[in-house]
């Protein structure tokens, strides 16, 4: 199926550039910008790397030396250094990555002729060879443990030099090659992180699982890439020097500061277009790297990229670096698309179905650039709390898309059809309350990638959206509190507990009533109108009094007054108590709203009232602010005069029709 999809996309995108054999390209001009938009260290810079790498474009191999300078910023003594060797996840079918993905990552399968691996041939500290003492740790070869010859006390610095060879796979999970295009991500030995309460830190360096991404310390990167002179390179950071050689190669030197990773792309046919974003009165150069046939999409990605940089900077903290590069992979290399690295991301969705106004390409660019805040600056632990990166970013993306394209058409504005970003996503992923795992589950513990994605991306985003509108209907106070969180925790590896503590402090409210059921437990919100009826109002009838004073009141004596006694019962069949508005419409055309604030975890609420007109309709959450709610069929009902059972089917069909119209804006 995945290969058929690739074929279809290639046909739609007119695969086969017809560009001919690679030709020598003019040497690139070094960047004039500094690595940081405003000079000055932003992070502790605990793990810095110098890497000298040579790329063989025919074999898709990298030979390199790496010097890691690691400072023990923890409160414990370190007697070892563990290194991630992510490329070994693509080495064979027995790795944890292959077993946990069941051999397919987002529809992409490994190729029999395209396995990838990384081999560390030498490890030295102070000139002493230590490779023989290093051992693999865990179920495969994706973590290499190096015992230190001398323990590193808190505050001590260790310098380690490694020599390694990397064989890139055919592109899978956002790294590798396809044809002449190569995306190089998670390609070098990367040290783990000592994390936890001060004085009780432990190494976090898990084996590579299909559902988990990355976590690393900030540092300074100086990377020299020796590549064919026929190829264009895009990389993290800024290009500081270009050195030509006599063997048809050149060395490109890159420098990046206050980043926790380094990635690069190499391709002989790519072109570059650029524009400038304004961040706090200073420029950020936004570049899109693309194949010629994707020029029209590159313009869309560039416009979205500039808007994203400017808007995320205003909503949270100013973008700290001087360049942002967006790589637009060719459609046949779609497995490289949709990935974030510091100052460099890959986008996706270039095909003829994505007409102007169908903003999937724009959304992918906004989402990946957004990760330069929710992961790039905040650097949460993606293997432990993936939602704190992906889901918070999804929530923020909706704000940015609405700011750039308008709230009601942030996702689609094409041929009369309009759709909002989060509402469209919610319609695609309808049953969040039925997920078997809580949002705040470790990535590797989800039963499958579908449950991981629904909880980590969609459920987190709509939970935050719902909470924002409970705090303040327009969400402004919550957005301001999130801005404060970003300002406080940038470059500090915050946890989910840090996020909610920051929100509570800024908002001055206890959020545990929502956070515990929404993030720590499975389940969701499932509102329903259980009962809605009215009876004619009249004085009491029946037998009253005793003995000679006994009397019987009948209809003739107690006629109806012309009014109605009405009763509405609302229930939440889910597990998360969310305050909600109920709108009651009457046959005379009037409407009335009530609020059910059931933070005490009450499962139902009865409303009784006397009115001059009977109920015609009851709607739960008429503004659609509780996006976390599941199963909306019984959230909106109409009542006819005789209240036959047929009203339910009619009401539900009407609701679905209106919901579809709302999604597409008809």
Q: State pLDDT tens for residues 447-493.
A: 999 999 999 999 999 999 999 999 998 999 999 999 999 999 999 99
HSE value, Cβ hemisphere, 13 Å, CA-based, for 585: 13
The CA angle 69-72-77, to the nearest 5 degrees, is: 130
Please indicate whether residue 402 or residue 637 has the higher confidence score (pLDDT): 402
368: alpha, beta or left? (left if phi > 0; alpha if psi -120 to 50): alpha
Structure tokens, 612: 């001059």
Please indicate whether residue 540 or residue 521 has the higher confidence score (pLDDT): 521
* Level-2 CATH architecture, domain 47-217: Sandwich (2.60)
- C-beta separation of 198 from 364 below 8 A: no
Quote the CA–CA distance of 74 and 90 in Å, as a whole number.
32
CA distances (Å), origin 488, targets 24, 193, 317, 397, 484: 48, 21, 10, 20, 6
The count of other CB atoms within 10 Å of the CB of residue 257 is 24
- pLDDT tens, 269-298? 999 999 999 999 999 999 999 999 999 999
Q: Inform me whether the pLDDT recorded for 647 exceeds 90.
A: no
If you compute the radius of gyration of the chain from its CA atoms, what whole number of angstroms results?
29
Quote the CA–CA distance of 414 and 466 in Å, as a whole number.
27
Please state at what angle helix 421-428 crosses helix 646-664, rounded to 10 degrees. Answer: 130
Specify the pLDDT at position 523.
95
Q: Phi and psi at residue 431, in whole multiples of 5°?
A: -120, 70
Specify the pLDDT at position 652.
47
Q: Inform me whether the pLDDT recorded for 558 exceeds 80.
A: no
- C-beta separation of 82 from 205 below 8 A: yes
Q: What is the enclosing helix (H) or strand (E) of 428?
A: helix 421-428
Specify the pLDDT at position 3.
46
Quote the CA–CA distance of 319 and 170 in Å, as a whole number.
33
Q: What is the enclosing helix (H) or strand (E) of 161?
A: strand 157-167
Specify the pLDDT at position 653.
45
pTM of whole model > 0.85?
Answer: yes
H, E, C per residue of 86-125: HHHHHCCCCCHHHHHHCCCECCECCCCCCCCEEEEEEEEE
Please indicate whether residue 147 or residue 2 has the higher confidence score (pLDDT): 147
Q: Inform me whether the pLDDT recorded for 113 exceeds 90.
A: no
- pLDDT tens, 29-57? 999 999 999 999 999 999 999 999 999 99
SS3 550: coil
What mean pLDDT, rounded, does the chain reach? Answer: 91
Specify the pLDDT at position 557.
61
**Strand intervals (E) in 357-502:** 412-414, 417-419
- C-beta separation of 98 from 111 below 8 A: no
Best CATH choice for the domain 527-664 from the list 3.30.1360, 3.90.1580, 2.60.120, 2.60.40:
2.60.40
Overall residue count recorded for the chain in this entry: 666
Q: Inform me whether the pLDDT recorded for 662 exceeds 60.
A: no
Please indicate whether residue 141 or residue 4 has the higher confidence score (pLDDT): 141
With tokens 């967006």, the residue in question is: 326
Q: Inform me whether the pLDDT recorded for 646 exceeds 50.
A: no
Quote the CA–CA distance of 122 and 316 in Å, as a whole number.
43
Quote the CA–CA distance of 283 and 427 in Å, as a whole number.
38
Specify the pLDDT at position 218.
98
Quote the CA–CA distance of 226 and 213 in Å, as a whole number.
28
Could you give the maximum distance between any two Cα atoms of the chain, in Å?
A: 123
Q: Inform me whether the pLDDT recorded for 388 exceeds 60.
A: yes
Quote the CA–CA distance of 517 and 508 in Å, as a whole number.
20
- C-beta separation of 396 from 315 below 8 A: yes
When pLDDT is averaged across residues 502-528 and rounded to a whole number, the result is 96
- pLDDT tens, 326-353? 999 999 999 999 999 999 999 999 999 9
Structure tokens, 329: 């992979």
Specify the pLDDT at position 17.
63
SS3 607: strand
The CA angle 184-188-191, to the nearest 5 degrees, is: 135
Model confidence at 507, pLDDT cuts 50, 70, 90, reads very high
- pLDDT tens, 53-92? 999 999 999 999 999 999 999 999 999 999 999 999 999 9
With tokens 């396995």, the residue in question is: 115
Q: Inform me whether the pLDDT recorded for 408 exceeds 80.
A: yes
Pairing of strands 78-84, 190-191: antiparallel
Structure tokens, 270: 């790519």
- Topology match between the domains 47-217 and 527-664: yes
Q: What residues does each domain of the chain span?
A: 47-217, 527-664
Please indicate whether residue 375 or residue 4 has the higher confidence score (pLDDT): 375
Q: What does the DSSP 8-state code read for residue 23?
A: -
Q: Which residues pair with 583 in a beta bridge?
A: 593, 619
Measure the CA dihedral 191/197/199/201, to 10°. -30
Quote the CA–CA distance of 577 and 568 in Å, as a whole number.
19
Q: What is the enclosing helix (H) or strand (E) of 583?
A: strand 580-586
Q: Inform me whether the pLDDT recorded for 242 exceeds 90.
A: yes
HSE value, Cβ hemisphere, 13 Å, CA-based, for 293: 17
- pLDDT tens, 185-196? 999 999 999 999
- pLDDT tens, 564-603? 999 999 999 999 999 999 999 999 999 999 999 988 768 9
């Amino acid at each position: 199926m995945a290969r058929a999809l690739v074929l279809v996309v290639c046909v739609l995108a007119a695969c086969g550039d017809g560009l001919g054999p690679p030709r020598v390209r003019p040497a690139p001009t070094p960047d004039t910008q500094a690595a940081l938009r405003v000079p000055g260290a932003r992070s502790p810079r605990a793990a810095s790397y110098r890497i000298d790498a040579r790329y063989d474009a025919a074999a898709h191999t990298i030979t390199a030396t790496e010097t890691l300078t690691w400072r023990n910023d923890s409160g414990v003594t370190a007697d070892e250094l563990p290194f991630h060797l992510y490329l070994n996840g693509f080495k064979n079918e027995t790795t944890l990555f292959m077993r946990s993905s069941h051999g397919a990552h987002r529809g992409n399968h490994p190729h029999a002729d395209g396995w990838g691996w990384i081999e560390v041939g030498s490890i030295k500290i102070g000139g002493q060879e230590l490779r023989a003492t290093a051992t693999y740790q865990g179920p495969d070869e994706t973590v290499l443990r190096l015992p230190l010859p001398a323990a590193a006390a808190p505050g001590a610095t260790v310098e380690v030099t490694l020599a390694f060879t990397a064989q890139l796979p055919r592109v899978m999970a956002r790294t590798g090659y396809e044809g002449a295009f190569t995306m190089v991500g998670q390609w070098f030995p990367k040290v783990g992180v000592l994390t936890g309460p001060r004085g009780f830190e432990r190494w976090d360096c898990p084996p590579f699982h299909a559902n988990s991404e990355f976590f690393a310390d900030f540092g300074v990167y100086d990377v020299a890439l020796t590549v064919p002179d026929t190829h264009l390179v895009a990389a993290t950071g800024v290009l500081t020097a270009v050195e030509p050689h006599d063997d048809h190669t050149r060395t490109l030197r890159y420098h990046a500061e206050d980043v926790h990773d380094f990635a690069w792309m190499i391709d002989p046919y790519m072109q570059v277009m650029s524009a400038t974003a304004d961040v706090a009165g200073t420029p950020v150069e936004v570049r899109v790297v693309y194949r010629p046939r994707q020029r029209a999409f590159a313009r869309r990605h560039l416009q979205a990229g500039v808007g994203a940089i400017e808007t995320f900077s205003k909503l949270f903290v100013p973008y700290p670096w001087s360049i942002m590069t967006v790589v637009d992979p060719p459609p046949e290399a779609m497995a490289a698309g949709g990935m974030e690295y510091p100052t460099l991301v890959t986008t996706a969705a270039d095909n003829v179905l994505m007409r102007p106004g169908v903003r999937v390409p724009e959304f992918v660019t906004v989402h990946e650039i957004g990760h330069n805040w929710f992961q790039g600056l905040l650097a949460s632990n993606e293997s432990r709390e993936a939602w704190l990166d992906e889901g918070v970013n999804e929530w923020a993306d909706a704000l940015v898309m609405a700011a750039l394209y308008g709230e009601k058409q942030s996702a689609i504005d094409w041929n009369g059809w309009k759709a909002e970003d989060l509402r469209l996503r919610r319609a695609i992923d309808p049953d969040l309350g039925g997920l078997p795992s809580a949002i705040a589950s470790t990535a590797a513990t989800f039963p499958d990638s579908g449950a991981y994605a629904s909880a980590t991306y969609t459920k987190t985003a709509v939970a935050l959206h719902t909470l924002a509108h409970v705090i303040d209907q327009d969400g402004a106070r919550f957005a301001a509190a999130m801005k404060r969180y970003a300002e406080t925790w940038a470059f500090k590896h915050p946890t989910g507990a840090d996020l909610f503590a920051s929100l509570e402090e800024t908002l001055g409210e206890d959020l545990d009533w929502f956070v515990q059921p929404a993030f720590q437990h499975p389940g969701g919100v499932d509102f329903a109108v259980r009962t809605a009826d009215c009876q004619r109002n009249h004085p009491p009838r029946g037998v009253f009094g005793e003995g000679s004073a006994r009397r019987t009141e009948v209809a003739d004596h107690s006629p109806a007054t012309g009014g109605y006694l009405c009763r509405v019962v609302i229930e939440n069949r889910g597990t998360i108590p969310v305050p909600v508005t109920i709108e009651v419409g009457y046959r005379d055309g009037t409407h009335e709203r009530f609020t059910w604030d059931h933070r005490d975890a009450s499962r139902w609420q009865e409303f009784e009232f006397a009115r001059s007109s009977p109920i015609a309709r009851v709607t739960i959450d008429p503004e659609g602010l509780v996006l976390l709610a599941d199963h909306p069929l019984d959230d909106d009902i109409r009542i006819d005069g005789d209240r036959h059972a047929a009203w339910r089917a009619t009401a539900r069909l009407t609701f679905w029709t209106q919901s579809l119209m709302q999604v597409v804006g008809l």
